[in-house]
Structure 1
Amino acid sequence: MPLVIGYLLGSILPAYFLTRMMLGIDIRSVGSGHAGTTNVYREVGLWPAVVTAFYDSTKGILAIQIAEAMGYPDYISFLSGYFAVIGHVFPFYLHFRGGKGAATTVGLLLFSLWNTWLTLPFPTLLTDLFFLLLIVSVLSWTTKKGDVVGIFVLPALSVLLTLRRVNDIWFIWLLIVTLMFINLKNILEEKLIELDEAGWRVFIRPTSFLLFVLGMTMEKGDFLLLTTVVFSVFFLADVVRLLSKRIHRFFHEELEFKIYRKDERKQISSISLFLLGVILSFLLFDKHIAFTAGCFLAFGDMAAKIIGASFGKRKLFDKTVEGTMVGLVIDLFIAYAISLSGLLDLSSALIGGLTATVCEILPLSIDDNVSVPLCSSLVMSLL
């Protein structure tokens, strides 16, 4: 019953009904085609947009409150709120084609965060907010695109809440994943991010985190053996590709799905160099330090590449100021998260993050996939 109530509350779209009453048209057929606040404001006016924003952002919370008043347990109440998101996106009377659900999801997320952070000490809250606002501020300055800001700050938020071991984290994760999906969909539709022909590799870079987790949990020798085998496969593929004209032509000209970038036509791929950097850092340094340096490489370097390629305007050596600034704040956030997890102290991790950023921007003769983990690991080890 509460799930049905949540769905029905969510399926009520003020954007659709107000536009029908005032203009006699379907809001989904004009402007951006979205049944949301921004499109209502542009096509209808201010006060209908205000009404739309208020109801869309609170109907999920209303569903939770109704379910709680009916005596249902927390997990049912939360699911009722999420069903309001489903109702907003798939209203039955509009052939299941409604809005995007962002406002309802954001309203639920803010409601959950308010209840969560009220349980934390005030200094803890301020520190968490500082690092999150640092990411938001720099990304807003460099991109001026809310969807792009979201795909970076939402994972950061989820990491903090997970490390804080908050209650009902599953529901917050569900909301964050939903918002991430909405943001990525908007980015792809509006082509907000520009990447090269093998740009998909940048987006899968975070999956290397699983490799670092293995480095933390496996015996050192076993992990190095596993990683060396994987490295050997990619390195051998690089050698064959560079020596054989037929295979080179296949990968770079005939194959539609591009595996290698244009700048890798005559050199070892960054995939092999990335694995080499991981092997060397885990071989030479403590696993906690190598894990931290790997996170700098996987996430900070990824953020710098995405923002630099899509929004970079000011050159800094062969990089951009915009990409470097975003890479820096991501590295600083990683250092903060690492300190919360107890792997390293904050000062060592922060200096390691700064070192990683410097190595990424300097035009060194060694590739940054190798220099970033080695240099940052060395500095953190010395500290």
Structure 2
Amino acid sequence: MGTIVAILLGYLLGSFLPAYFITRTLLGVDIRELGTKHAGTTNVYRNVGLWPAVFTALYDTSKGVLAFKLSSLLGLPEHVCFVSAMSAVAGHVFPFYLQFRGGRGAATTVGILLYFLWTEWLKLPFSTLLSDLSILALIVLVLFLTSRRGDVVGLFVLPALALLVMVRMPDRSHFIVLPVLVLLTINLYNIIVWRLIKFQEDIRPWRVLIRPAAFLLLILGYHIGKTSFMFLMSVLIAIFLVLDLVRLSHRRVERFFHDEFKFKMFKETERKRLSSMTLFLLGVTLSYLFFEDELAIAACSFLILGDVAAKIIGMNFGKKKLFHKTVEGTLAHLVLCIYTAYVLHVMNFVPLGVGLLGAIAATICEVLPLAINDNVSVPLFSGIVMNVVKGVIRG
């Protein structure tokens, strides 16, 4: 019963939209018919004025926290109070009296996120908090300077924040991770609607966007052990290699995949060569074959995150050429690799100095016009550098 009361309380608090009522009162129109057609602070500011927008922002950002606090006063458990807070987001997005069409819920979610960052994250030692904030600030700075798009910055920094929180406070991370996921969903929606990210004709967007899912392979390898993982990777490579060989040795098959098959699986540049999917699996396998598991994870993580960042930023916002890549894409690659090294250091996988040198090596290898494909050269070169540095440190 208490849970139901908390959910209803949060929903009702969230469903009250100052943007709608203020605009109705002052202008006699529905804010959802103006501007961006959302009942939010920015739309109120552009169409009604500053002070109505200020009032809207104050209530929208605080109503999730208000739901949490009121539920706490009712003596409800903390997790139920959190559900009440998130119900306020649902109420903002789906108000019952407006045919369930309200705002996007970003301000309410930000309010909840800031509250729990204040109450949970700030419990960490100051040095830890400072280093975490510094690495996140570096990501924001580099990606904003290269893209000038807040939603694009959020696409990277929000998952980065969520991962750091999960590593730092695994038992209470849900208070922060769930609001982050809601904001990330809103970010993705904005990116899709406003078409902030586009891909070159020869790039398969699904292959870029699914690349982070490769972390599931690394997680699996960590849990099942090296022998079992190497067997699994050998099977996967064999499957993709056979597919490539059949495609390359039979013109009819190649024409089918490249010209007739509606789902574009292969790039045009892969017509007469092995696919980058096969080479990626090869790069991961060789990394685990030659290096310690922790170094292999680091090297492959550089490849996964760095590649995604470089492609998204480089293709859409790259202006200054650097060999066959762009300065903007290279900077994005570097900062995501640095972040990866930092997280792996926090997880006690790789010493920070070793990881940072590996990140730099991965970026250098990625930008240089080498004959070897990046999917193989990046993890191997960064792995070699980290292996040598680690050996020197050990003496």
TM-score in terms of structure 1 length: 0.98
Shifted more, 19-28 versus 78-87: the winner is: 19-28
The alignment status of 1:64 with 2:89, answered yes or no, reads: no
Question: Could you tell me which residue of structure 2 aligns to residue 18 of structure 1?
Answer: 22
Q: Whole-Å Cα distance in 1 between the matches of residues 105 and 269 of structure 2?
A: 40
Contact map agreement 1:215 1:291 (CA 8 A) in 2: no
The alignment status of 1:101 with 2:105, answered yes or no, reads: yes
Contact map agreement 2:287 2:380 (CA 8 A) in 1: yes
Contact map agreement 2:165 2:177 (CA 8 A) in 1: no
Q: Whole-Å Cα distance in 1 between the matches of residues 70 and 178 of structure 2?
A: 20
Shifted more, 166-175 versus 63-72: the winner is: 166-175
Q: Whole-Å Cα distance in 1 between the matches of residues 233 and 82 of structure 2?
A: 42
Question: Could you tell me which residue of structure 1 aligns to residue 384 of structure 2?
Answer: 378
Where does the alignment leave 5 or more consecutive residues of structure 1 unmatched? none
Instruction: Supply the AA of the counterpart residue of 1:96.
Output: F
Question: Could you tell me which residue of structure 2 aligns to residue 80 of structure 1?
Answer: 84
1:31-63 alpha-carbon deviations (Å, 9 max, x no partner): 111111111111111111111111111110111
Shifted more, 96-105 versus 264-273: the winner is: 264-273
Question: Could you tell me which residue of structure 1 aligns to residue 338 of structure 2?
Answer: 332
Q: Whole-Å Cα distance in 1 between the matches of residues 53 and 234 of structure 2?
A: 57
Q: Whole-Å Cα distance in 2 between the matches of residues 168 and 262 of structure 1?
A: 47
The alignment status of 1:27 with 2:38, answered yes or no, reads: no
Deviation at 1:119? 1.0
Q: Whole-Å Cα distance in 1 between the matches of residues 370 and 291 of structure 2?
A: 22
Q: Whole-Å Cα distance in 1 between the matches of residues 266 and 185 of structure 2?
A: 26
Query: What is the DSSP-based 3-state SS (H/G/I as helix, E as strand, rest coil) of the residue aligned with 1:240?
Result: helix
Given the alignment, which residue of 44, 51, 56 partners 1:40?
44
Q: Whole-Å Cα distance in 2 between the matches of residues 249 and 33 of structure 1?
A: 46
Q: Whole-Å Cα distance in 1 between the matches of residues 359 and 102 of structure 2?
A: 43
Q: 1:219 to 1:121 in 2, by over 3 A?
A: closer
Given the alignment, which residue of 214, 219, 234 partners 2:220?
214
Question: Could you tell me which residue of structure 2 aligns to residue 362 of structure 1?
Answer: 368
Deviation at 1:297? 0.6
Contact map agreement 1:57 1:108 (CA 8 A) in 2: yes
Question: Could you tell me which residue of structure 2 aligns to residue 289 of structure 1?
Answer: 295
Question: Could you tell me which residue of structure 1 aligns to residue 266 of structure 2?
Answer: 260
Deviation at 1:262? 2.4
Q: Whole-Å Cα distance in 1 between the matches of residues 171 and 65 of structure 2?
A: 17
Q: Whole-Å Cα distance in 1 between the matches of residues 335 and 198 of structure 2?
A: 21
Deviation at 1:217? 2.2
Q: Whole-Å Cα distance in 2 between the matches of residues 365 and 147 of structure 1?
A: 35
The alignment status of 1:140 with 2:141, answered yes or no, reads: no
Instruction: Supply the AA of the counterpart residue of 1:67.
Output: S
Given the alignment, which residue of 345, 350, 353 partners 1:347?
353
Query: What is the DSSP-based 3-state SS (H/G/I as helix, E as strand, rest coil) of the residue aligned with 2:119?
Result: helix
Instruction: Supply the AA of the counterpart residue of 2:135.
Output: F
RMSD: 1.2
Deviation at 1:168? 2.4
Question: Could you tell me which residue of structure 2 aligns to residue 302 of structure 1?
Answer: 308
Instruction: Supply the AA of the counterpart residue of 2:53.
Output: A
Q: Whole-Å Cα distance in 1 between the matches of residues 238 and 348 of structure 2?
A: 33
In the TM superposition, 1:154-165 aligns within 5 A as: 154-165=158-169
Q: 1:213 to 1:166 in 2, by over 3 A?
A: closer
Instruction: Supply the AA of the counterpart residue of 2:250.
Output: S
Where does the alignment leave 5 or more consecutive residues of structure 2 unmatched? 390-395
Query: What is the DSSP-based 3-state SS (H/G/I as helix, E as strand, rest coil) of the residue aligned with 1:118?
Result: helix
Number of residue pairs matched?
383
1:126-182 alpha-carbon deviations (Å, 9 max, x no partner): 100000000011111111211111110111111111111255212322111111111
1:318-362 alpha-carbon deviations (Å, 9 max, x no partner): 111111111111100100000010011110011001111111111
Q: Percent identity?
A: 54
Contact map agreement 2:365 2:377 (CA 8 A) in 1: yes
Instruction: Supply the AA of the counterpart residue of 2:288.
Output: F
Q: Whole-Å Cα distance in 1 between the matches of residues 8 and 344 of structure 2?
A: 42
Query: What is the DSSP-based 3-state SS (H/G/I as helix, E as strand, rest coil) of the residue aligned with 2:123?
Result: coil
Question: Could you tell me which residue of structure 1 aligns to residue 195 of structure 2?
Answer: 191
Shifted more, 164-173 versus 9-18: the winner is: 164-173
Deviation at 1:191? 0.7
Question: Could you tell me which residue of structure 2 aligns to residue 280 of structure 1?
Answer: 286
Q: Whole-Å Cα distance in 2 between the matches of residues 19 and 299 of structure 1?
A: 44
Instruction: Supply the AA of the counterpart residue of 1:215.
Output: G
Contact map agreement 2:61 2:108 (CA 8 A) in 1: yes
Q: Whole-Å Cα distance in 1 between the matches of residues 154 and 36 of structure 2?
A: 20
Q: Whole-Å Cα distance in 1 between the matches of residues 225 and 171 of structure 2?
A: 33
Contact map agreement 1:324 1:361 (CA 8 A) in 2: yes
Q: Whole-Å Cα distance in 1 between the matches of residues 302 and 316 of structure 2?
A: 20
Contact map agreement 1:18 1:48 (CA 8 A) in 2: yes
Q: Whole-Å Cα distance in 2 between the matches of residues 255 and 115 of structure 1?
A: 53
The alignment status of 1:4 with 2:8, answered yes or no, reads: yes
Given the alignment, which residue of 204, 215, 226 partners 2:232?
226
Contact map agreement 1:116 1:167 (CA 8 A) in 2: no
Query: What is the DSSP-based 3-state SS (H/G/I as helix, E as strand, rest coil) of the residue aligned with 2:120?
Result: helix
Instruction: Supply the AA of the counterpart residue of 2:308.
Output: M
The alignment status of 1:245 with 2:212, answered yes or no, reads: no
Question: Could you tell me which residue of structure 2 aligns to residue 203 of structure 1?
Answer: 209
Instruction: Supply the AA of the counterpart residue of 2:65.
Output: I
Deviation at 1:263? 2.1
Q: Whole-Å Cα distance in 1 between the matches of residues 246 and 16 of structure 2?
A: 59
Instruction: Supply the AA of the counterpart residue of 1:99.
Output: G
